[in-house]
């Protein structure tokens, strides 16, 4: 039965953490974006995020955050959420689920602990700014 289940591969859809100025915090902060670099619209998009890891020898985890987008057009970006400075020291996991036509796609993206820093930036497609990409 398992051999009959076809799991489609996620292609040209990824996440990027981008550092931007925030007037609210009066400093640069990291935001996570969903990038759809495909030729297809993504429908009924759900993103579930959490952070987890060990800090000072103690296991830490955050609450789950859920985001829903009716549609993410082809070759576009959507801002998902702000990453607080404290959670950058943890693994940040994002589970992305969406439909293309009648096919369900899902993928887990992880920004490893301490990886969201200016040391790991590269140019983000479509946004054309520097950011840390999770593929």
Domain boundaries, the chain: 2-134
Q: Token pair for residue 118?
A: 């200016």
Q: What is the mean pLDDT of residues 24-38?
A: 95
Q: How confident is the model at residue 2 (pLDDT cuts 50, 70, 90)?
A: low
Beta bridge pairs of residue 27: 22
What pLDDT does residue 94 have? 98
Mean pLDDT rounded to a whole number for the chain: 95
The residue that leads in pLDDT, 57 or 67, is: 67
What pLDDT does residue 11 have? 95
Per-residue pLDDT at 18 exceeds 70 = yes
Cα 77 to chain centroid distance, Å, stands at: 11
3-state secondary structure of 78: strand
Judge if pTM exceeds 0.85. yes
| Angle value at C-alpha 115, between 66 and 32, nearest 5 degrees | 30
Q: How confident is the model at residue 1 (pLDDT cuts 50, 70, 90)?
A: low
CATH of 2-134, one of 3.40.390, 2.40.50, 2.60.40, 3.30.2290: 2.60.40
Q: How many CA atoms lie within 13 A of 26 on its CB side?
A: 0
Nearest CA to 116 out of 65, 51, 62 is that of: 51
């Amino acid at each position: 039965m398992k051999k009959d289940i076809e799991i489609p591969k996620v292609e040209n859809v990824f996440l990027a953490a981008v550092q931007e100025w925030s007037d609210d915090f009066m400093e640069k902060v990291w935001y996570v974006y969903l990038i759809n670099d495909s030729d297809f619209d993504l429908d009924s998009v759900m993103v579930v995020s959490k952070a987890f890891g060990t800090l000072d020898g103690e296991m830490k985890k955050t609450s789950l955050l859920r985001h829903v987008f009716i549609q993410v057009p082809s070759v576009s970006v959507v801002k998902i959420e702000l990453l607080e400075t404290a959670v950058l020291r943890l693994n940040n996991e994002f589970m992305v689920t969406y439909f293309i036509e009648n096919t369900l796609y899902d993928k887990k993206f992880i920004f490893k602990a301490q990886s969201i820093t200016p040391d790991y930036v590269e140019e983000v497609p479509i946004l054309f700014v520097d950011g840390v990409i999770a593929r």
